[in-house]
Structure 1
Amino acid sequence: MIRVGEYNTLKVVRTVEFGVYLEDGASGILLPKRFVPKGVKEGEELNVFIYHDSDGRIIATTQKPFGVVGDIVMLEAVSVTPQGAFLNWGLMKDIFVPKSKQLMGMRPGGRYLVKIFIDEQTGRVAATEKLEPFLSNDNLTVKEMDLVDLTVWRRTDIGYVMIINHKHTGVLHFNEIYRHLSEGYVFKGYIKHISPDNLIDVVLGKPGYQRVEDEAGKVLRLLQENNGFLPYNDKSSPDEIYSFFGMSKKTFKMTTGGLYKQRKIEFTDGGIKATET
């Protein structure tokens, strides 16, 4: 079963002057010569992306698109017609966004957060700005403390709505934000809390002590790079700490507290100091 808009592992069944044909249970799918890996022989299997070319034929490529069916990604518009817009998604053929699937119209050079899907009428890969129908918290596939992919969607009065694993939505509250965010940015994060009615709070980074352990390595590296001393401690402002370490003051205090217990640092009046051991 060939999955259009996704990666498929297919066997090379015959070689022609202009490429190779891959097994699909019928007449085969062409992988053009420019994309055929050097030295490939009949009978070998290739991992290829399948989509429709400009003439509507199913074709294979070893190019890697910026997203596959099901993904929500930020793409740049390259051309606009009365029928819709074409966005660059990393392949020779641009992906189409019908006029009916746009929110406020698109312009060349603009960047837009879109969902990649299969158009039911044509069977081709397309994209839409209208994300709501594809996002739901009714049947969750995540639980608290899960590590997830987060995509910045929109700003609200309490924080940012984040898209979780291209499926669900959650809120990243302002008091958990310590870096610049813009629509379409993608981060690793985790599920902090799920309410009884499936409202989700998320946090950037890794959950629990693993996150602190990662930050501990950063603190020790920065100490090494600065002759064993850094002029920051619990009296430093949150802005100063974030500007230098890229972490919240709460994380900084947890991290340095853990390093102190491990006797890897000492606290001084002016900052933190690496121990000799």
Structure 2
Amino acid sequence: MKRVWGGWSCGVLMLAAALVGLSALTAGAQESRGITVSGEGVAEAMPDVMELAAKIDGNAQLAGDALEKFRGNKKRFVDALKRLGIEGLSIVDSGPSVNSGTPANPMAAFQGGQVDETKMPNSVGFQEELTVTLSGVDKMQAEDLLRSLTLIIDAAKDAGVNLSASPISMIQAQFQGAKPTSLATYRLSQPDAAKQQAYEAALASARAKAERLAQLAGLKLGDIVSIRETAPGAQGDDDNGGMMGAYLTLMTGAAGKEKTEYTSGEFKKIPVAASLSVQFDIVKK
């Protein structure tokens, strides 16, 4: 009797498993009913922020002297920009860093061991990356913007500071196989309005595709069942956009990736893209 009961219970379990699998397939078939299409939309908007990168440093044998030099260099730079009186001009600090114990001539250590590292002088250095930001550039004429940019560059040079392309701009250029050619990075800091327009265009594109498919199949398009946002250009995209986005997320976090999505090295309209996967119900005529 035990053997019969064991075989019976095993059969029940197998039947239950088969029923579970059948119900899952049925549910999946029900979920897939309808027409699923993708739609893309793009809207453009002028950047409203211009950014330049500046590096402030101070080096000396003693930490106290290095800090004093660093503070003096930073104050001279900040004061020079304030004297310009440009509306919307600001400086964003990143926080100083200190390097200690670095040889004054580190390359000499690799020249055949001719230098005794224990006798090499060490220096202490304070450094900080600053971001010079000019907001409201979307309301400025191109000539006025160039004049302001020229004043900023000259004031920085007079203060002994060289401006450079922003780190995000350099990462973009690296993935595009080019060198950054612009000191300034132009950014769209408020992309919501353009993003809304891109969503509307993407949804209209998806609906147009679905209507064509339904017409070919002799069906009538029903209501929207689901909408899912996808990455623009994710399907069949062979450029480095995805890799660059992943690298920026790794290096700067999600905020850095979001920040670089709407930037340009030129003062021109920036495209804002949206991509949607939309499922429509279908109705027989």
TM-score (ref. length: structure 1): 0.21
| Structure with the higher fraction of residues in strand conformation | 1
Structure holding more helix per residue: 2
